[in-house]
Structure 1
Amino acid sequence: MRDPIDTDARLALDLALTVRHNGNGTFADDLAAPADLAAWVRAHPEILPLTTRDRSEDKDSHPKTPPRSSGRRPSAPATT
């Protein structure tokens, strides 16, 4: 009898199965949008145990992060 595959191998196989032939000569990506990935993660708690917490309330509990600056200092005005 074979040993069951480990969690990492199971995760890799399950992720690979999200890209498949769609029957029309092209491929379908089940994780094409962020919402698709979020739904997939929620559907696989046995291989992603740290993601099982319901985070539906988190979206309003975190302060909004200000936009990141480019890291450049503003240039001095030109003098004429």
Structure 2
Amino acid sequence: MFQLIPLLFIQTIYAAVIFLMARKQAVRTWVWTLSALVPFLGLFVALVFFVRTILSMLDRLNALERNTAFS
């Protein structure tokens, strides 16, 4: 039981960050946040959400490059 306490603490931090980032991305904030709080599943959910965020940032950078290349 005591082994889960550090994991739950880390997942609580992940859930808070995911909640803030999900509001910015206009996705279902509570679905992502609550699924990040489930032990062991939350680490996978956080990984998926962070990769999704990085990919959307790269898409925005590519769009900026395309728009400024012809200007």
Question: Normalising to structure 2: TM-score of the pair?
Answer: 0.25
Q: Which one has more relative contact order, counting CA pairs under 8 Å at least 6 apart?
A: 2
Question: Which one has a bigger Cα radius of gyration?
Answer: 1
More strand by share: 1
Q: Return the TM-score normalized by structure 1.
A: 0.24
